[in-house]
Amino acid sequence: MKRAILVLAVAACASAGWFFVPGGYWSFQDGGVGFLYVQGEYPKVGWTADGRYSLGGDYWLDTELKTKFIGEETGLRFSYSRDSLKNNWRQPLGDTTTVGGVVATEYSAYIRQHFDVGKANKFSIYAGYNRGDYESPCSFDMSEGRFDTTAEALFADAVDVGMEYSIDSRDDPENPQTAYYFGMRLGGLYFPGADKSNFDYLDASQLTDPDSKWPPKGTGYLELDQRFFGKLNMKEVPFPMILALRIGGGHHLSEVPQLVAFKAGEDDFLRGIDKRHLFGTSYYIMYGELRMQVWEESWTPWVLLHWIIPGYENPRPIMEIVPFMEFAKLFSDYVRDDSQQMTIGLGLHWVFSDYTIVRYDVGYWPKGKTWGAYFSFEPSI
């Protein structure tokens, strides 16, 4: 992984004029993290690469290539991550056994084909493969009904095929002023490794529940996503303000491994909750944020790159202060907490271009009294 990040750095320095952002940040989950984000956008090809490495030894890589091969666009995406989790989410409630965390290693590869079906309508088909390996110093003892100190190594894999359709009136894809978006994702998952005894599960109670249908050979799923954007015109406020709202939901037809379960505590879903604290096979979410564009040409440390590298884009982005609030609920026979969840937070966003937003969000989960910090190069909604 270190070599991969070094290669990204060399490629970025050798490609003056292509946008790249090196730096670091701190989060509650991972501590100090260094990163390098590289992006190229041209009329017929575009690509991004996001590499990160934490001081704790975890790492993440997400890279995507888009080209006008056939149809409107063809996309290839690969992601890889290694997460050291402090808690074991499978430990039965009430079990006082001292258990260690879990090391979760996951990767995926996808190909996506977009087709032009009108100015505001978009359609795409996709196929991909996901794999996850999970190592824990403790495992579930079926005879005792609790965790013991036997090491455990589980895995899950999934072949994913589906389609997406959307109605999208956003003129600026990353920072729309006034727009509407509706998206639908319909697909199916096949689990090649489901017959193995060490195939991953969501919760230990699945193994002792006589009504459990675990493990399934596959499932279908549906996700719906609706978003509204509106610019607020207030004479008393000297800067633009944009209100963004989202309503969404998703459902798997059967039980799934945690590799493809809906997870709270991710970049854009109930920020503030501990990583992998809550899983579900279904969910709904209501989300709102107010983007206050307080500084039209803000200063960032990356302006130094503009001064020393010929052709580097002048990084004087719009700076936004963004308070947000999320309401959501996860559903499953084995979800740890199926009550209504809420998180609140505040973000700083830097809008560099129509294609690049750098954001840092801090979220709080009042029910669990936990905090989360999230850094990303994609819009929050």
In this prediction, residue 16 carries a pLDDT of: 37
* pLDDT in 10s for each residue of the chain, 381 residues: 555 544 444 444 444 336 778 899 999 989 999 999 988 877 788 889 999 999 999 999 999 999 987 888 999 999 999 999 887 877 777 777 777 789 999 999 999 999 988 778 899 999 999 999 999 988 888 887 778 888 999 999 999 999 999 998 887 766 788 899 999 999 999 999 999 989 999 888 888 888 888 999 999 999 999 999 999 988 788 889 999 999 999 999 999 999 999 999 887 889 999 888 899 999 999 999 999 999 988 888 878 777 777 666 667 888 999 999 999 999 998 888 889 999 999 999 998 776 678 899 999 999 999 999 999 988 777
In this prediction, residue 171 carries a pLDDT of: 74
Q: Is residue 14 part of a domain?
A: yes
In this prediction, residue 11 carries a pLDDT of: 47
- Per DSSP, 161 falls in state E
Q: Is residue 361 part of a domain?
A: yes
Region class of 118: left (phi > 0), else alpha (psi between -120 and 50), else beta: left
Helix (H) or strand (E) holding 136: strand 121-136
Distance between CA 167 and CA 169 in Å, rounded?
7
Q: Is residue 381 part of a domain?
A: no
In this prediction, residue 41 carries a pLDDT of: 77
| Cis before 215? omega within 30 | yes
In this prediction, residue 13 carries a pLDDT of: 42
Residue 234: domain span = 2-376
User: CATH no. for residue 372?
Assistant: 2.40.160.50
In this prediction, residue 10 carries a pLDDT of: 44
Q: Is residue 245 part of a domain?
A: yes
Count the residues in the chain. 381
**What is the count of structural domains for the chain?**
1
Q: Is residue 279 part of a domain?
A: yes
In this prediction, residue 283 carries a pLDDT of: 96
Q: Is residue 326 part of a domain?
A: yes
Distance between CA 55 and CA 61 in Å, rounded?
15
Q: Is residue 89 part of a domain?
A: yes
Distance between CA 276 and CA 134 in Å, rounded?
13
